[in-house]
Chain A
Amino acid sequence: MGRTAVGSRTAEAIGRLETALLTLGLLLLTGFNEPTSATVPERAGSEPGGIEIRFETPEGRPDLVTVVVIGLEPADSTVDLRPPSEGDRLDPRIWRDILRVVAVEPDFGAVPSDFPSLLGSYSWARDETGAQLRFRPKFPPTPGIELRVTLDQTAWRGLSPDESGADFTARWTVPDLTRAPTTRVEGVFPSGTQGETVVVPSNLLRLYVHFSAPMSAHAVLPHIELLDDSGTAVPVAFVGIPGGLWDPERVRLTLLVHPGRVKRGVGPNQAMGPVLEEGRRYRLRIASQALDADGLPLVEAFEHEMLVGPPDLQPPDPQQWQLDLPKDPQDALRIRLLEPADRALLERLPWIEGPDSRPVSVDSSASVDGLSLTLKPHQDWAPGRHVLVIPPELEDPSGNRPGRRFEEAGQDARGPGEEIRVVFEIRF
Chain B
Amino acid sequence: MNLTQKLNMEWLGNVRGDVLAGIVVALALIPEAIAFSIIAGVDPMVGLYASFCICLVIAFIGGRPGMISGATGAMALLMITLVADHGLEYLLAATILTGILQLLFGVFKLASFMKFIPRSVLIGFVNALAILIFTSQLQHFVGETWIMYSLVALTLLIIYILPRFTKAVPSTLVAIVVVTAIAIFMNAGVRTVGDMGALSQTLPIFALPNIPLTFETLAIIFPYALALAIVGLLESLLTASIVDDMTDTESDKNKESRGQGIANMVTGCFGGMAGCAMIGQSVINVKSGGRGRLSSLVAGVVLMFLIIVLGSVVVQIPMAALAGVMIMVSIGTFDWSSLRNLHKIPRTDATVMVVTVGTVVYTHDLSKGVLAGVVLSAIFFAMKISKVKVESSLESKTIKVYRVRGQLFFASVTDLLESFNFNDDVKKVIIDVSGAHLWDDSAVGAMDKIESKYEQKGIEVVIRGLNKESSLLMDKIGGLSKASGH
Asked if A and B are interacting partners, one says: no
A-side interface residues toward B, CB under 8 Å? none
